[in-house]
Amino acid sequence: MLEVIDLHVRYGAINALRGATLSVERGELVAVVGPNGAGKSTLLMTIAGAVSSARGEIRFLGREIGRSSPEERVRQGIALVPERRRIFTSLTVAENLRIGMSARRDRAGAIRQRDELLTMFPILGERYASPAGQLSGGEQQQLAIARSLLTKPELLLVDEPSLGLAPRLVAQVLGTLVELRDQGTTILLVEQNALKALAVANRAYVLNRGEIREHRATSESGTAASLFDTYFGLPASPRPEGQP
């Protein structure tokens, strides 16, 4: 569904992405993990069209979209759930959802989907007429995801949904992404919380200082060790008993 090939992004003298290459197949939940400043948000914003690349290709459903506007990419089926949620806090939950629905031509389908989402995220139904700013961080994250889903995306890009959330809510939000994947939404998730993201992803990449590699865990128990090796570019070496 998505192919990113040798993508380079610069902010002045900073090389935020240095030849990023990755792919996402239809129906997958793919994670990109990496530390602060690795280039994760830049990668998603470039795929969504909010940031321009200096070089490289972005192919979505077989078409090169690297020069399309962000609006065209939304129309083609790409939706971004941005970092720190970026919902409209002074608008109600209902109004935030209506923004997601505004580009839809199939009004009846959009209303039906909104009602399904209110069943999936009951708190949004309970707080429907309240300002979104009164929701907790995890609830705002649910609203941001629901709003993006209302654009009826083929591919959902999710930027650090765990940021600022208590561990219980992180599990809930990541569980929601798994549920959406199981219902057929293709998801590209970027996360600093690497082990949590790896636990839910079909496949993963590690991004560090603008460079990306596919992460291949050899076994369940080897996950933490091999992730560490991919992060720091060390060879997968045996570790003494009991050491992570």
Choosing from 25, 27, 37, 133, the residue that interacts with ligand ATP (CB under 6 A) is 37
Under 8 Å between Cβ of 180 and 156: yes
Q: Which is nearer to ligand ATP, 11 or 232 (CB)?
A: 11
223 binds ligand ATP (CB under 6 A): no
- 38 and 68 Cβ atoms separated by less than 8 Å: no
Minimum gap (Å) between residue 53 Cβ and ligand ATP:
13
**What is the closest distance, in whole angstroms, from the C-beta atom of residue 237 to ligand ATP in the complex?**
27
Residue among 1, 16, 29, 101 that touches ligand ATP (CB under 6 A): 16
Q: Which of 1, 22, 24, 38 binds ligand ATP (CB under 6 A)?
A: 38
41 vs 141, beta carbon nearer ligand ATP: 41
Kindly state whether residue 161 participates in binding ligand ATP, applying the rule CB under 6 A. no
Cα torsion through 29, 159, 130, 71, rounded to 10: -90
113 touches ligand ATP (CB under 6 A)? no
Q: Which of residues 183-222 bind ligand ATP (CB under 6 A)?
A: 192
Footprint of ligand ATP (CB under 6 A): 11, 14, 16, 34, 36-42, 192
